[in-house]
Amino acid sequence: MKREEEKNLMLRTKKYWTKNWQLWVMLFPAMLYIFIFCYVPMYGIQLAFREYNFSAGFTGGDWVGLKYFKQYFESALFGTTLRNTFVISFWSIVIGFPAPIILAMIINQLKNKRWKKVVQTTVYIPYFISVVVLVSMINILFKSESGVAGNFLKMLGLVAQDTNILGKESAFVPLYVLTGVWQSMGWNSIIYIAALSSVDSQLYDACKIDGANRWQTMIHIDFPAIVPTIVILLIMNMGNILNVGFDKVYLMQNSLNLGVSQVISTYVYSVGVKSSQFSFGAAVGLFNTVVNFVFLVITNWISKRSTGTGLM
């Protein structure tokens, strides 16, 4: 009986691989990429608990436990880096998350297909601008002496004439968030546009018969259709609550706005990498990851309890 079950299992396995081997071949490069770049580096987590020794490599060094975590928690910049990172992430989600949803619903209401394609292409283009070029554009536009946007704000009286906008602490977060929204809004709307394309056209016809305008159609048809997608993406965004992009913050950072631009990622680079304190940098990075994971689990739990939709 046991041999027969094993034989049937082998036959089912052989049949499955004969039928689906092409799919696994296509999936293999992605699996290999995730394994090499996501799972293999996790071995380096041990550095957060060791006194890193160059001569001993990754496997050496004395075990020091939570020494570097305590060092970070007791440092003068712990509260500053945590607050700055959270503030930038919070406003990026509050302003940046709804923007592609609204844009997708607006694009979905465009009836002229040619105009719709033009609008979509136009809003997608900023996503392909590199961070270095984007920050260079910010520097040019808001330069104190000749910046077009900076001089316009000064002309309106919103900014004093002698103000260096790029060095003003109160301007750093709005500049970072709004330029980020402008750059990524169009690209992030693709998934919502795809979700809206699956809505039954009969629902729109019913709305017209009932006399609903475009605003009412978006509220009662479009938005409910993409709620599951919104929930999933919100959970994933909350899992990155403390993951502020290092490159853009570092490029926008200067000595005048350091009080609000010093985030966890730049702190890890300046203290952990530039000062060769790799164990300390690993400890700070691990703390960042744990906080993100906690936010992810809490948001997923709340979503499951309130909407029935979640990642797991």
Over residues 2-15, the pLDDT tens digits come to 677 777 888 888 88
57 with 13, same domain? no
219 with 286, same domain? yes
The residue-averaged pLDDT of 258-283 equals: 85
Is 101 inside any structural domain?
yes
Let me know the angle formed at the C-alpha of 239 by 98 and 191, rounded to the nearest 5 degrees.
45
Is 8 inside any structural domain?
yes
Can you give the pLDDT at residue 310? 65
Place of tokens 């990498």: 273
Instruction: Kindly tell me if the per-residue pLDDT of 245 is higher than 60.
Output: yes
Is 5 inside any structural domain?
yes
Query: What element of type H or E holds 62?
Result: strand 62-63
Can you give the pLDDT at residue 312? 63
Q: What does pTM read for this prediction?
A: 0.81
19 with 86, same domain? no
Mean pLDDT value across the chain: 84
110 with 66, same domain? yes
Can you give the pLDDT at residue 162? 62
Is 167 inside any structural domain?
no
Query: At CB < 8 A and 24+ separation, what contacts does 262-267 make?
Result: 262/77, 262/80, 262/81, 262/84, 263/81, 263/84, 263/85, 263/88, 264/81, 264/82, 264/85, 264/288, 265/85, 267/77, 267/81
Phi/psi region, residue 164 (left: phi>0; alpha: psi -120 to 50; beta: rest), is beta
3 with 84, same domain? no
Is 150 inside any structural domain?
no
5 with 75, same domain? no
The residue-averaged pLDDT of 285-302 equals: 84
Question: Domain containing 255 — which CATH number?
Answer: 1.10.3720.10
Tell me the pLDDT band of 99, cut-offs 50, 70 and 90. very high
Is 246 inside any structural domain?
yes
The residue-averaged pLDDT of 281-288 equals: 87
> Which residues lie closer than 8 Å to 205 by C-beta, 6 or more apart?
none
Dihedral sign for Cα atoms in the order 235, 89, 219, 117 = negative
201 with 276, same domain? yes
221 with 290, same domain? yes
Is 286 inside any structural domain?
yes
Can you give the pLDDT at residue 178? 92
Can you give the pLDDT at residue 182? 92
Over residues 14-47, the pLDDT tens digits come to 888 888 889 999 999 999 999 999 888 888 888 8
198 with 270, same domain? yes
* Residue 148 identity: V
4 with 79, same domain? no
Can you give the pLDDT at residue 58? 67
Is 174 inside any structural domain?
no
Q: Domain containing 296: what range?
A: 51-115+186-306
Can you give the pLDDT at residue 31? 94
Count of Cβ atoms closer than 10 Å to residue 307 Cβ = 12
24 with 111, same domain? no
- For the chain, how many structural domains are there in total? 2
The residue-averaged pLDDT of 232-240 equals: 80
Instruction: Kindly tell me if the per-residue pLDDT of 241 is higher than 80.
Output: no
23 with 64, same domain? no
